[in-house]
Amino acid sequence: MKEGRKFGVAVVVASQGLDDFHPDVLANAGTKVLYRVNYPQSRKAAGFLRTRTGKDLSEELEQLPVGNAHIQTPHMPGARRARMLRPEA
């Protein structure tokens, strides 16, 4: 991932568990989208997000309703909560 990023290669990795990925993969991810995560993984997942106030998001990650996530891009000073909407039929 480190080498590909400098050449503009985008990689999407997704799983229901953080342990499925090597720590280097997680550390080099640019955009992060975190849905509900149960304890104790919520503590680890919250460490990948920044907040403007330095707040720990682990408890909030444990309580996220279906369709909600915390999103952060490299250009954002802090993670934001977002709600995913179903496309209209």
Sketch the domain layout of the chain as residue ranges. 14-83
Between residues 86 and 34, which one has the greater pLDDT? 34
Helix (H), strand (E) at residue 5: helix 2-6
Q: Are 69 and 81 in contact (CB under 8 A)?
A: yes
CB distance 14 to 31 below 8 Å: no
Indicate if the pLDDT at residue 60 is higher than 90. yes
Is there a contact between 72 and 51 (Cβ–Cβ < 8 Å)? no
pLDDT tens across 65-85, in order?
Answer: 999 999 999 899 999 999 988
Is the pTM for the entire model greater than 0.95? no
